[in-house]
Amino acid sequence: MVVRHSVLGQRSRNRRSSGTLSVDRKSLYRALRRFEDQGLVDSTWHSSDKGPKRRYYHLTPLGTEVLCRFTRRNILIFQEPTVAFGLARLMQDGE
């Protein structure tokens, strides 16, 4: 995971999420500092050809483990056949 402090980075996040994810820059960096304090991410500073140094964030092994558990518990569950079928029915009923 690399987060860049730039307008290009913000546009890229919005495009990858099809416009469903909007991130307030202050909230994002507060969360990254909190994740770093918890040992979920590390950061390093890198020189930039344009402007000031940039800080890059990377998942730690613990952060990767937590992300995998979160994904299994909160995202992949929707791929289970019974859950997917129930959601499809719910969406049909709502139309």
CB under 8 Å to 60, separation ≥6 — which residues?
39, 40, 41, 42
Helices (H), the chain: 7-16, 25-37, 61-74, 81-94
Return the number of other C-beta atoms located less than 10 Å from residue 42's C-beta: 13
Mapped onto helix, strand or coil, the DSSP state of residue 57 is strand
What does the pLDDT look like over 47-61, one tens digit per residue? Answer: 988 889 999 999 999
Predicted local confidence at residue 12, as pLDDT? 55
Residue of 10, 9, 5 whose CA lies nearest to 32: 5
What does the pLDDT look like over 7-50, one tens digit per residue? Answer: 445 555 555 667 676 778 888 899 999 999 999 999 999 998 88
Phi, psi of 43 (to 5 degrees): -135, 150
